[in-house]
Amino acid sequence: MKRLGLGILGSGKGSNCRAILESIRTGTLSAEARVVLSDVLDAPILEIAREFAIPNAYFPPGQFRTRLEPNAEAELVQMLRDAEVDLVVLAGFMRVLKSPILEAFPRRIINIHPSLLPKFPGLEAWKQALDAGETVTGCTVHYVDEKIDHGDLIAQREVPILPNDSAESLHARIQIAEHELYPAVIEKLCRENDRVR
């Protein structure tokens, strides 16, 4: 079985990246991390990549705060192609992707979000769920399109909201669910991809 080549994009701590790389290391995920890229120069996700000896790089995002400049996005596409990436995995990547990369990797870009989409897209979704008085939230893996936390759903996992939950305690439990769900979904995509070949 040819291993699916992953390109992981992140802007922050990289806990989902670590969960994916650990799953590859233990053999529960039959993919290969080809490159980890970040739009933040000193993002901890790049340190995690180095810890696992995965090629990694910073790419300058340009002047926009919530998306990439077109030339930066074109450069990102080239970096992913050079690394022979099959599937682009967003792991805490805080920018909206547009047509250059969406066209280069159609239905091959996935993201994980800390809510049961379509509920609570955007930042700090666990706080949104608490503020709304929900009794259940969770996490969602979905295909990426041009909108924020939008696109076809692939899988979800529920996390109950406990009566004494704080934003921090709820977020910590959602992250545990994320770290289990994301590698499992990628493994499912690997197996589906292998059947298609």
Active-site annotation, residues: 113
The one-letter code for the residue type at 195 is R
What ranges make up the beta strands (E) of the chain?
4-10, 31-38, 56-58, 87-90, 109-113, 136-143, 153-160
User: Which residues are CB-neighbours of 177 under 8 A, at least 6 positions away?
Assistant: 138, 139, 157, 159
Whether the CB-CB separation of 8 and 36 falls below 8 Å is answered with yes
Q: Is the dihedral of CA 180, 21, 117, 85 positive or negative?
A: negative
Full DSSP string of 74-100: HHHHHHHHHTT-SEEEESS--SB--HH
Instruction: Determine how many CB atoms are found less than 10 A away from the CB of residue 143.
Output: 16
Cβ-contact 7, 34 below 8 angstroms: yes
